[in-house]
Structure 1
């Protein structure tokens, strides 16, 4: 059931409060709930007051503080949008893609060094290729994650090879 928040009907209020429609009518007749035409918020505040003796939540809210907080959030959001448009700020997916592309190009280029430097000396090429492969292995993502204290798949837990 969709509830009209501007002017909820008696059956809608009954569904929200978990009582019968007739009970809502009785509460309205006693003056514990506002008459037809009141908003859902007004009805909830009246219900809380009648049932629990709770004053409306609006008394606890500092509207000036909330307005200032909202204004600051909106200004921050606009500033970030503007910085992104001026290319002063890039999104994380864009930056991750750029870094991954540079790393892939670097790895490809490093793997060609052995062929260029060895000039047909197969033993020298093997040593160069092995040294480059070892260096790349040390700089791998797994090593970075390990050094940082995490793992690629932290949900898997530590390896138990007992």
Structure 2
């Protein structure tokens, strides 16, 4: 290569180095945050289900025969969550089966009945009126427990701020 051409390309070297440093720093910062958030969500999901009693279940026939009115639904990640009453709040939890696998964990204030649909089928639960519940969909299998930190009191506390 001629010396004139080399001088013209010389300015690109510091620029390429700066760009590489920028992306390395971004990957280090956000990658670390991702791993910490993943570990936190695994711990939160495990804590949500530890020791809590399972929700009573219904069959599809029992759910359809009851003709529940005013059903409300929300689709989140890998599932559809239908409830009769109350409020819902969903978060993404990390699955231990893979670094990027996630599933939904939804908390309900007082759902009365729940229908959860995932790729593996439909699940029906009857926590009851006024009973908080938490549903997770790890492995596309719905699990429901009679426990939740998400209640009407926490909603009112948020509104007061």
TM-score (norm 1): 0.30
| Structure with higher helix content | 1
Q: Whose RCO is larger (CA < 8 A, sep 6+)?
A: 2
Which structure has the greater CA radius of gyration? 1
| Structure with higher strand content | 2
